[in-house]
Amino acid sequence: MKKHKKLLIVLLVIVLLITGVFVYRMPKVDKNLDKSGWKTQYTYVLVHGLSGWGSYDAQYKFMPYWGMFGGDLVKYLEKQGIDVAAASVSPHGSAWDRACELYAQLTGTRVDYGEAHSKAMGHDRYGEDFTGKALIDNFDSEHKINLVGHSFGGATIRLFSQILANGAEDEVKASGDDVSPFFEGGKGDYIYSMTTLAAPHNGTTAYLVKPEDDPNPTTGLNGKIESALSGAMGKANSEEGDGRSDKDYANYDMDIDNAAALNATIETLPDVYYFSYPASSTVKQANGTYAPDNKKTEVLFRMSARAMGVYTGTTKGGIVIDESWLENDGLVNTISAMAPSSAPSQKFNAKNITPGTWNIMPTFDGDHMSLSGGLFHHKNIKPFFTDLISMINSL
């Protein structure tokens, strides 16, 4: 993991130096929040995506995942009087492992992956101990949280909510008196809202396409740079190879068939508000396929965006990938990021926001990383988050 992360960071720094991005400064945002209509002010917990990092990780200090090179979003929101925390879950771990890690960080306890799960997946039952270094001060039905998950952070917080509310029967049986309170359930009222950003709710075709599927590969030096960065990203996002089951990784959960199976196990909680923001940085072509807008799409994602923009077929499990899947943000199909296929959902209507239903928000104009601040294509996400928080706090 450390080797892959260092490789990715080195490549990013090289490109940033070449392009002169380090001289970029995010425009100052002076918009102060109008709190007059707020009814709640619960803490916001941000959960990063694949290969991401949070406040427990050293690299967050010089390149915060939330805000990227545009400045630390957490610090900005804190100055606005918002309680915010950035979790640090396994960069490549499964939704299950990441959910267990999130619970330990929120409660200030040792990570317990569960007796049954750890045996089935071939790794230790216990992980890092967060005793004395909890992510937030309080976490209970009186001190609810608003969860925000970017990319695979979406699956993480959805499974987290399922276990928190309904428990895990297999773990209760396997652990006996030594069961984690997380697996006992009964805590669904600890969550107030859940927001996902460019999340592969129903999986992504990024794992089905290959470089040779690229219908219009870039040539020359730009093509070499694009290929090198795409390859580096692929290595950084690859499985660890640490002896655990290949079912215990994010890549497995984001497979379209496996995502459908995971969705079938997750309930939409009746008293939680749900919001989902899909993203798109591709443009529909005359022949009906989609191609990336290079002004909006990171170099890292252009090859996959082109290949995903033409890919159709049927998965091994029989799920049909038709033309509705072609639009994408470079890593996730826009349709997949709208809402879990098995969950109740509706197009967002500000006059009809009810709990227990996914509100599909307007598609965000940007690539996969834009909703966390962007890398080379910077996005000023501060107004986006202040508007989101104001909406949720006013419900």
**Neighbouring residues of 92: CB distance < 8 A, sequence distance ≥ 6:** 1, 50, 51, 237, 238, 239, 240, 249, 250, 251
Q: What is the pLDDT of residue 266?
A: 98
The three-state (H, E, C) secondary structure of 3-61, written as one string: HHHHHHHHHHHHHHHHHCHHHCCCCCCCCCCCCCCCCCCCEEEEECCCCCCCCCCHHHH
Q: What is the pLDDT of residue 31?
A: 59
Phi and psi at 7, nearest 5°, equal -60, -45
**Single pTM value for the model:** 0.90
pLDDT tens digits for 26-63? 435 445 788 999 999 999 999 999 999 999 999 999 99
Comparing CA positions, the residue from 360, 359, 379 lying closest to residue 371 is 379
Domain extents in the chain: 2-20+34-393
Q: What is the pLDDT of residue 192?
A: 98
- 282 has pLDDT over 70: yes
What average pLDDT does range 266-293 have in this prediction? 98
Of 254-268, 355-369, 376-390, give the lowest mean pLDDT range.
376-390
Out of 3.40.50.11540, 3.40.50.1820, 3.30.200.20, 1.10.1240.10, the CATH code matching 2-20+34-393 is 3.40.50.1820
pLDDT tens digits for 86-107? 999 999 999 999 999 999 999 9
